[in-house]
A and B are shown apart, each in its own frame.
Chain A
């Protein structure tokens, strides 16, 4: 009997039933039934099952129902995107509506749950007419018409999805203003970008940077009170301005559209869950853009730091400033955090106004050469962590070459030191390329960016071992220690 059953299954044929006569004369009929073994199967198995089902449908045998029951669905609980989300998806993927319509027709047209072209067009018009999505073209570039509306729109979307994250900044400024530590200090005054600490605020960063090919200055706003504020999909592109350089004159034209909006945002705040909240503005641009925004000279100025008043180098010409504020090169640790904060407070009180610091005026100081475009509390200037980390990586690599140069210069003279440095740099580059699998970019001064930047920290053993035998032992040991600490940072 078993042989008969196996023959019926394995041998080719189109017999939906197997009839077997037993020894006692009774006839038993077995009906073929296709039953799924696994609920989740791979593509090849799905194809086999579908082929079997098609065969059964064609023959119309009794196993049809069973085969349909065993049909495998690729996804359970299909998500229905709203029409606005479909419009948005088309825009995000730079897809044409005709292309989208083809995609819609494949899974069954109107039965697919995707909107028709007419519906998409009307919703697109409706969405594009919202104030937060309108774009205006000026002489400087393309800008959002209303930055405040765009931010409010995003905040409302986050509130609806319950994705607002409370981030309370422990603000020392308000406390300093309320009880000035110095006798004769300036009285409490509201500072731009600094809401009172008594109520929760919404932190918004404004960033400018020039980049891309062709070069354009991009202005991006981001709401910090969300899970991933630095993700591009969480940020708002406020303006794109094709320009050759991010000098102050050009930045002034670029920001002309947005400065009144920023003022309005600071004045009116944003509505979160039906309640109005103040906005804390944080400046997060790259170094060059910050200097131009705040009217500062540059990194080579006497006082290059935007957050304190230290001078760059000790010099006879600015001995009074050096004595008063110290220099960047002073790392003795005498000026601790509170002292830096004090400088920042003073600067905030003195220079936060957009009209102060006119060139040639008596209050012209801190290497501020022009009137700042944006008045902001200097303590709300975010450190440029990525650029700083990339710069420090590069500086540490250069330091390896320097210790080799110093060693050979001391033993064999200037020319030999220079030649040794050149040879070692080439050797280091080859080592990083072949064994470390990291390579510098040909732009940005040869920085290591993206994956190479992250991998460089893991390959520090290679870098630390490279100058062994070519530099002073104490230098090599210190160098390795510095890399170890930097990797922890």
Chain B
């Protein structure tokens, strides 16, 4: 993919992340048979869990609440989802494609669902976010292209 992109879009620079994915991820994949096992989703999930859980913990300061949260979570390891999952009855997997809406009148289809009420404040906020995102992306794109052209014209000069 990178070779294809680099061949057509000469201004595209290979970032360190892309380089790792291209050169080093295959090596790890070869050695460990998986990259997903080492993914950071588990760590990212702790941020959300901490945000929700720490406010319920007692503590005068942030550090106190963090310590109380840590103590709770250390105890909670005995009954994690993996432990309790062993007791729960195992459900059979659905047949492939069984849950896909096939009929036109199926109520699971988005077009057959009743329309959600539109929140004006939410719509304004979304529009603002879109504007900010597009402004950031277009600015970065213009800068990248300009820098490349300036560099290439400098080389030619």
Contacts and interface: CB of A to CB of B under 8 A. Distances in A.
Nearest to B79: A88
Contacts of B46: 218, 220, 232, 235, 237
A242 B145 contact: no
Interface in B20-72: 20-28, 30-33, 35-51, 53, 56-57, 62-64, 66-67, 69-72
A94 interface: yes
B8 A92 contact: no
B50 to A, nearest CB: 5
A395 B15 contact: yes
Contacts of A282: 38
A231 B44 contact: no
A384 B130 contact: no
A231 B81 contact: yes
B153 interface: no
Contacts of B87: 79, 81
B71 A230 contact: no
A485 B21 contact: no
Contacts of A128: 71, 74-75
B126 A383 contact: no
B157 interface: no
Contacts of B33: 167
A242 B146 CA distance: 41
B77 interface: yes
B101 interface: no
B70 A237 contact: yes
Interface string A192-226: 00000000000001010101111010101010101
Given A446-B137, A478-B4, A228 B82 contact: yes
A133 B56 CA distance: 19
Given A212-B50, A232-B49, A383 B19 contact: no
Interface stretch (A7-15, A50-58, A397-405): A397-405
A333 B23 contact: no
Contacts of A485: 1, 4
Contact of B63 (A142, A153, A231, A424): A142
B154 interface: no
Contacts of B73: 91-92, 237
B78 A85 contact: yes
13 contacts: A88-B79, A89-B76, A170-B30, A170-B31, A216-B50, A216-B66, A383-B35, A387-B17, A398-B141, A399-B9, A439-B129, A474-B8, A482-B4
Interface of B: 1-9, 11-28, 30-33, 35-51, 53, 56-57, 62-64, 66-67, 69-84, 86-87, 126, 129-138, 140-142, 144-146
Given A329-B13, A405-B142, A428-B134, 11 more contacts: A88-B78, A89-B84, A94-B57, A172-B31, A220-B46, A230-B36, A235-B43, A305-B19, A398-B137, A439-B130, A486-B1
Q: Which 10 A-B pairs have the closest CB atoms?
A: A233-B80, A88-B78, A382-B38, A88-B79, A425-B134, A92-B76, A91-B75, A211-B47, A142-B67, A133-B74
